[in-house]
Amino acid sequence: MKIVPGRGAVPARSGREILDQVPELGALAQITCEDFDRLPGPHWSPDRMLELARHLDLRLATGAFSGAVVTHGTDTLEETAYLLDLVLRTELPVVLTGAMKTADEPEWDGPGNLIASVRAVVDWRERGVGFGVGVMMADTLHAARRVAKSHTNAVRAFTSSDEGLAVRERIAADALETRVELIDAYAGADARFLRHAVATGARGIVIAALGKGNVPPAMLIGVREAVAAGVTVVVASRCGRGPTAPRYGYEGGGVTLQDAGAIFAGDLPAPKARIKLMVLLGAASSAEAIRESFARSTA
Q: Name residue 185's amino acid.
A: A
Sign, Cα dihedral of 87, 153, 207, 269? positive
204-209/232-237 β-pairing: parallel
Do residues 162 and 199 make contact, with C-beta atoms less than 8 angstroms apart?
A: no
The model's pLDDT over 130-145, given as tens digits with 9 standing for 90+, comes to 568 999 999 999 999 9
Q: In whole angstroms, what is the distance from residue 127 CA to residue 112 CA?
A: 22
**Residues 6 or more apart from 123 whose CB is under 8 A from it?**
none
- The phi and psi torsions of 288 (rounded to 5 degrees) equal -70, -40
The answer to whether 138 and 109 are in contact (CB under 8 A) is yes
Closest CA to 266 of 251, 244, 239: 244
Residues of the chain with pLDDT under 70: 1-7, 12, 125-131, 162-167, 299
Determine the Cα–Cα distance for residues 69 and 115; give it in Å rounded to an integer. 10
**pLDDT score for 103:** 83
SS3 263: strand
* pLDDT for the residue numbered 129: 55
**All domains of the chain in start order, with CATH:** 2-160 (3.40.50.1170), 180-295 (3.40.50.40)
Q: Are strands 263-264 and 232-237 parallel, antiparallel or unpaired?
A: parallel
- Give residue 162's pLDDT: 62
Query: What are residue 295's phi and psi, to 5 degrees?
Result: -65, -25
Strands 204-209 and 180-184: parallel
| pLDDT per residue as tens digits for the range 238-270 | 998 999 999 999 999 999 999 999 999 999 999
Alpha-carbon gap, residue 50 to 123, rounded angstroms: 27
To the nearest 10 degrees (0 to 180), the angle between helices 77-87 and 46-60 is 50
Q: CA 146 to CA 298: how far, in whole Å?
A: 10
| Whether the model pTM is above 0.85 | yes
